[in-house]
Amino acid sequence: MDGSIEFYRNFTEYENGFGNAGEELWLGLKYIQELANQSHSELRIDMTNHNNVTGYETFPDFRLTDGIKYRLNIGLRTASVNVGDGLSYNNNSPFTTFDRDLDNKDSHNCAVDRHAGWWHKACTMVNLNGLYVPPGSICKVAGAEPGLCDHLHRGLEGGPRVKLRRSSMMLRRTQIVI
């Protein structure tokens, strides 16, 4: 939202949650998993870039599985017309943090490269937990890849890696019609 909360956190903090409601917040992997497991759930990601272009993508059948690996499981996405490939790339990936490397990159830890905990596969083009940086700037943090550790989403009008001003992930229960 505004960069007031640091999202470069260890696994325990991502599991338990941090931040403040109404401001920057990570609910906590164990709570997200519990909510999603109570019923069929849909994940929606809303985003706004620095040019005030908005977009969204939704995923039915959202779940976090594999116990404390919190493996991302999402169905086929729908999206606004201005949003390119997104979180689908990370489907079936466990949650990786700097102190718990579960991504598919053998040579290094994507959470360090991207300066954020996330469902990194072989890294990612969606980094909603990345650093908030002002327009015209790129993130520069020791150990992180410059320009890829930003708060970004692939393909929201403006190029392959668009920095975001704001993003939110929302979960809702859905009904399955038989």
**Structural domain contains residue 137:** yes
Does position 33 have pLDDT exceeding 90, yes or no?
yes
**Structural domain contains residue 6:** no
Mind listing the pLDDT tens digit for each residue in 45-91? 999 988 888 999 999 999 999 899 999 999 999 988 888 778 999 99
The residue range of the domain holding 74 is 11-173
Mean of pLDDT values over 16-42: 93
**Structural domain contains residue 3:** no
Q: How far apart are CA 46 and CA 72, in angstroms?
A: 18
The per-residue pLDDT for 156 is 76
**Structural domain contains residue 96:** yes
**How many domains is the chain built from?**
1
**Tokens at residue 67, please?**
């116990």
Q: How far apart are CA 130 and CA 88, in angstroms?
A: 18
Q: How many residues comprise the chain?
A: 178
**Structural domain contains residue 82:** yes
Mind listing the pLDDT tens digit for each residue in 148-161? 888 888 777 656 66
**Structural domain contains residue 114:** yes
**Structural domain contains residue 1:** no
User: Residue 54 is part of a domain; what is its CATH number?
Assistant: 3.90.215.10
User: Can you give the pTM of this predicted structure?
Assistant: 0.90
Q: Helix and strand tally (H, E) in the chain? A: 3, 10
Half-sphere exposure at residue 69, Cβ-oriented, CA atoms within 13 angstroms: 13
DSSP character at residue 29: H
